Structure 1
Amino acid sequence: MKLSHVILKVEQLDKAVQEYRDKGFAVEYGKEKNPINALIYFSKGPYIELLDGSRMPGAAKVLMRLLGKGALVDRLQRLDTCGLGYCELAFENYETDLKREVAILQKHGIKSCGMPSRRIDTHGRDLRFRIVSPAALDVPFLMTYFSTDPKPVDFVHPNGIAGIDKIVYGTDPARFPLIKELCDDDRLELKAGNGIEVEFERRKG
């Protein structure tokens, strides 16, 4: 698997979109009507997803738990209660399912649950994918890559940033072997502790 994206928790989505546009990033909402997220894409490598929370009603979370999706609900709940800043990391593969990755989690004694997801973005692209959330919240969540590639080609943001050069992910060192087995992306650096740090790649010259 490769790095998929990092979630940036913001205070208010519309305000954050304008703030990051003012910083020279090209930012697009996840969908045209009633968007719940916004994206900062790069031509290659991981992207950034801006969220001000899951916006999932409590009743829906209860229903998901009843349907055996408790690990997903726990991750959404953490998103709703965590502080501002980078708060979640996702890995992606290029298959149609996540069976291999679920088997790796099971080998390491970690249960998980998953579900399909879909959205029509602001360009009319039908983006379909599957997600899996490990029950261990100190392990990144997993997804298949989008059915249609939404990333721009040969694009550099107006501020000169061409991509993400490195993501530092803090977790329990006991998780390092599992995470390295799941993800072989050389942009990923693991450290003991908590938190996520992002370093950008700027256009040369």
Structure 2
Amino acid sequence: MRTRCSHVLLWVKDIHQAVRDFRQLGFTVDYATKKQNAQHAHIWFREGAIIELLTSPSNAHYFKWLIDIFAGLGAGRRMIRWSQEGEGFCDVALVSEDFDNDLSTLQQSGIQMGRVVPWRRTKPDGQKTRFRFIYPRSERLPFMVSPYNPSQHPDETNHENGATGLHKVHMDVSAQDWQAVRQLTAADPTFNLKHGAITKVTGVEINGLKEDLDPNLLHSGKVNRANFV
């Protein structure tokens, strides 16, 4: 496996309010698509993994069967969980430079996967990018994405609060998920795993932050300075 952390997902009720709040915290935040229809926004860093703010319909449970048809069994439960659990970190994505071979390795190891979904996205400036993603059937396991083609990474990434990169992603991992999560994330030292009742992202550390962040603006995401979690 040659996967590494791509992005940590933070679910919010109102994407526009979340963008305003994170900008107030000193982050540069870019909408993934045109603002009026946006459901995703990105906090890019100079290199490595990023934070993705996202929202999804609160009535996703009505469309569970459609989501499962589109992305495979387990995808519906995953998206329903995002909104039902409320604001905060809801998921994590792993990027693979060798998507097809890594997918084959996962399947051979017994990790049941959904369907590979090809996706296109048009940025606010009109640039189009393509990528693929796939969800494991177990809705708590990290999911896998291919690199963006072309890359979406900005030429410059500067944050007023001094942030330079995602240092650590802290995760609780249940006993039944432990082996699979270890396999998925073992090559990336960004992850700090510990045993827990359920598999979830519990917080992140960011390099370069000049001061602690106001928790009232973090939409229940635990975001701390590196080495302060």
Query: TM-score of the superposition, structure 1-length normalised?
Result: 0.87
Alignment of 1:1-205 (within 5 A): 1-32=3-34, 33-54=36-57, 61-66=64-69, 69-95=72-98, 97-153=99-155, 155-183=157-185, 184-193=187-196, 194=198, 195-196=200-201, 197-202=203-208
How far apart, CA to CA, are the structure 2 residues paired with 1:60 and 1:140? 22
How far apart, CA to CA, are the structure 1 residues paired with 2:171 and 2:178? 10
How far apart, CA to CA, are the structure 2 residues paired with 1:62 and 1:153? 40
CA contact (8 A) 1:101 1:182 kept: no
Tell me the CA shift for residue 105 of structure 1: 3.9
Summarize deviations over 1:92-139 as a string: whole Å, max 9, x none: 0123x4342243244234243221111011232212111110011221
Could you say what secondary structure the match of 1:164 adopts?
A: strand
Count matched residues.
203
What is the root-mean-square deviation in Å for CA atoms of aligned residues? Answer: 2.4
Query: TM-score of the superposition, structure 2-length normalised?
Result: 0.79
Identify unmatched segments of 5+ residues in structure 1: none
Amino acid at match of 2:121: R
The 3 A distance-change label for structure 1 pair 168 and 98 is farther
Summarize deviations over 1:133-169 as a string: whole Å, max 9, x none: 0011221011101011112245331110011100011
Identify unmatched segments of 5+ residues in structure 2: 211-229
CA contact (8 A) 2:42 2:50 kept: yes
How far apart, CA to CA, are the structure 2 residues paired with 1:64 and 1:12? 22
How far apart, CA to CA, are the structure 1 residues paired with 2:26 and 2:60? 34
Q: Percent identity?
A: 27
The 3 A distance-change label for structure 1 pair 55 and 11 is closer
Could you say what secondary structure the match of 1:116 adopts?
A: strand
Summarize deviations over 1:33-75 as a string: whole Å, max 9, x none: 4111111111211111111225786665433434572322221
